C-alpha cells in the first residue's frame, strides 16, 4: 500500500488536472562543468572536442523519483567562427519518460584579444511517453489510467555567451519554444514543461601558485514556477582538484567536487542537501556524477585545464 501511495503521489503531482500545467525543466547541478546544457552559445568555446556524460539521481530512496542521464559534445569547426554541439538527455519520472535530442549551433565574435561573444541556437525534438498501466490504483476500471501513450514535440532555444580566459557571462532560453506533452485516453491531459530563462556568470581568481577560486552564480527565471538563485564557490588545488559549496534559494545546500586524472579527463560529483523541513522530500538526497573528456586536435597544444 505504501508503494502504491508513493507512485500515486508522484503521478498526480505531474498530472493533477486535465488542463495544461507547468512541469519543472530538468536542471542539473553539474551545469558548472556542462554549460552547453543551458546555453547553446557555449558550443565552440574551445578548439578541443569536449564531451560530457553524467547521471543525476534525485530524491534517492523515493519510489519513482526522477533519474536523469545526459550526454553532450561540442567543438569549434576548424579555424572558423562556427561552433557545433549536441545534447542527449533522458529523464525518468515515475511512469513518464522524457528524451531530448538537440543540436547546438553558435557563431563567435572576437571582441578584444582573448575576449569573445557568441550567439547560439538549440533545435531538436523531445520524445515523451507514459505507461499508465504501471499505476497502482485503489479503484480499478478508470479508462484514463490505462494504456501507453507517446508524443513527439519540437524544441527551439537561444543563447548569448561572453567569455575570456577567466570570466564568463551568459543569457539563454534553451527551451524558448517547446510543444506540450499530452496523454490521450478516455479523458485527456496535457502539461507544458517550463521554459526558463537563465542568467549565468563566473570567474577564475588566482590566489597563489597552488590555489585558485571559482565563484559563480546562476539565476533561473520562470513565469510559471518560483525563480531560483544559485550561488557557488569552489577552491581549486594545483589545477587538479576542486571542492566547493553552493546555496540555492529553493532551500538547498550543494556540495560539489571535481578531479582531473590526466590531461583532458575529469570526474565530477555533487550532493544536494535540502534545508527546509517543510519540504516533502527533505529526507531524500540528490546525487550527480559526471565524466568530462577533452579530445585534443592534431593542431592543438595542451596549455591548461578548463574550469568552465
226-249 pLDDT, tens digit per residue, is 889 999 999 999 989 999 999 998
Residue 272: the pLDDT is 87
Asked whether the predicted pLDDT for residue 223 surpasses 60, the reply is yes
Asked whether the predicted pLDDT for residue 67 surpasses 60, the reply is yes
* End-to-end Cα distance, the chain: 47
Burial of 130 (0-12, 13-18, 19+ CB in 10 A): buried
For 179-221, the pLDDT digits (tens) are: 665 555 554 555 556 788 999 999 999 999 999 999 999 999 9
Q: Which helix (H) or strand (E) holds 161?
A: strand 148-163
Residue 258: the pLDDT is 92
286-295 and 49-57 beta bridge pairing: antiparallel
Q: What is the CA radius of gyration of the chain?
A: 21
Q: Are 261 and 268 in contact (CB under 8 A)?
A: no
Q: Where are the alpha helices (DSSP H) in the chain?
A: 2-14
For 149-165, the pLDDT digits (tens) are: 778 888 999 999 999 98
Backbone φ/ψ region at 264: left (φ over 0), alpha (ψ -120 to 50), beta: left
Angle CA 251–169–105, to nearest 5: 110
Residue 141: the pLDDT is 55
Q: Which domains are assigned to the chain?
A: 2-295 (2.40.160.40)
- Which residues make beta-bridge pairs with 120? 106, 159
Q: Where are the beta strands (DSSP E) in 204-264?
A: 205-206, 211-221, 228-237, 241-248, 252-262
| Integer Cα distance of 296 and 301 in angstroms | 7
Q: Which of 175, 170, 231 is nearest to 34 (CA)?
A: 170
What cell does 152 get?
513527439
SS3 167: strand
Amino acid at each position: 500500500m505504501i508503494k502504491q501511495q508513493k507512485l500515486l503521489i508522484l503521478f498526480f503531482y505531474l498530472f493533477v488536472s486535465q488542463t495544461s500545467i507547468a512541469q519543472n525543466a530538468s536542471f542539473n547541478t553539474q551545469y558548472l562543468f556542462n554549460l552547453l546544457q543551458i546555453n547553446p552559445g557555449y558550443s565552440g568555446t574551445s578548439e578541443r572536442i569536449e564531451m560530457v556524460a553524467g547521471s543525476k539521481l534525485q530524491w534517492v530512496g523515493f519510489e519513482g523519483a526522477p533519474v536523469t542521464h545526459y550526454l553532450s559534445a561540442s567543438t569549434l569547426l576548424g579555424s572558423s567562427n562556427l561552433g557545433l554541439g549536441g545534447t542527449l538527455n533522458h529523464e525518468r519520472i515515475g511512469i513518464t519518460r522524457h528524451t531530448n535530442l538537440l543540436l547546438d549551433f553558435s557563431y563567435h565574435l572576437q571582441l578584444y584579444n582573448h575576449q569573445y561573444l557568441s550567439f547560439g541556437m538549440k533545435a531538436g525534438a523531445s520524445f515523451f511517453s507514459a505507461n499508465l498501466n504501471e499505476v497502482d490504483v485503489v479503484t480499478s476500471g478508470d479508462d484514463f489510467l490505462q494504456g501507453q501513450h507517446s508524443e513527439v514535440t519540437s524544441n527551439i532555444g537561444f543563447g548569448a555567451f561572453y567569455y575570456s580566459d577567466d570570466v564568463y557571462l551568459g543569457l539563454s532560453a534553451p527551451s524558448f519554444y517547446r510543444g506540450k506533452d499530452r496523454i490521450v485516453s478516455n479523458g485527456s491531459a496535457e502539461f507544458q514543461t517550463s521554459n526558463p530563462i537563465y542568467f549565468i556568470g563566473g570567474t577564475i581568481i588566482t590566489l597563489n601558485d597552488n590555489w585558485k577560486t571559482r565563484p559563480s552564480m546562476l539565476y533561473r527565471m520562470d513565469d510559471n514556477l518560483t525563480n531560483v538563485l544559485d550561488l557557488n564557490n569552489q577552491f581549486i588545488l594545483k589545477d587538479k582538484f576542486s571542492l566547493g559549496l553552493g546555496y540555492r534559494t529553493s532551500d538547498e545546500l550543494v556540495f560539489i567536487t571535481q578531479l582531473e586524472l590526466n590531461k583532458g579527463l575529469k570526474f565530477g560529483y555533487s550532493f544536494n542537501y535540502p534545508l527546509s523541513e517543510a519540504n516533502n522530500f527533505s529526507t531524500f538526497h540528490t546525487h550527480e556524477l559526471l565524466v568530462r573528456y577533452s579530445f585534443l586536435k592534431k593542431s592543438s597544444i595542451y596549455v591548461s585545464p578548463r574550469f568552465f
